[in-house]
Structure 1
């Protein structure tokens, strides 16, 4: 919750919008009261008033790089979402594509295989994945069409 609130502040509430560009576990610290804090703004980008995106070279840490950078697209606040590119199985390197494939194929369990709580309530996990996919639907749909998938 703390990191979500911190990102909300950086992305929408701060007078100068900030894109962190390197959200990963190593850049999340706990203060003396165990509140999560975002750290290491070395790769951060500042957006000017009314600016929604910016162009930049690929950046961040391997395994936590946003899909926009792989596709040479302008970056937005959405790059502060991590993906795992170490998996190496077809589209699993882009988390959003893999999650969409798992959702369509009814294999949500593959997304949460190491989370006993999520595995114990698959209906809830499926709802969470569905909501996440709704949040990125336009971007995901366009990407699937660009990759030649007719049914996306």
Structure 2
């Protein structure tokens, strides 16, 4: 179940390494993954469009009576139907990726790199071309480091005077 969840929420994969030739080849998604991905992309586009057209959309919904109790009821039904369709699309994409051995190999390497980001895992992961947001973070700047630099800087200025 955890592998299916990682496949459903994992990054898009574009290229995978070849076995013996040394050249990479494009990742070929199966039908279930493509269908689920297209539904998710379509819903993302519609959400962005509704955000940009929200003044017009809110005015239209107000005039049609969607801000009454009866209108809220039908709006809630539409939201629930959208949630069911989106969850089905995520699971369809996850099942499609889970059935693909190339993606399962990639997600195993990515999970290992997220746990221990060693040089070996970094080299193995660098062979793949995928969404950059999923690349494990290998450096983090914290607020404590900023405070420490500020304190040292202030102390140095005080000693100079």
TM-score (normalised: structure 1): 0.25
Higher relative contact order structure (alpha carbons within 8 Å, sequence separation ≥ 6):
2
Q: Which has the higher helix share?
A: 2
TM-score (normalised: structure 2): 0.24
Larger Rg: 2
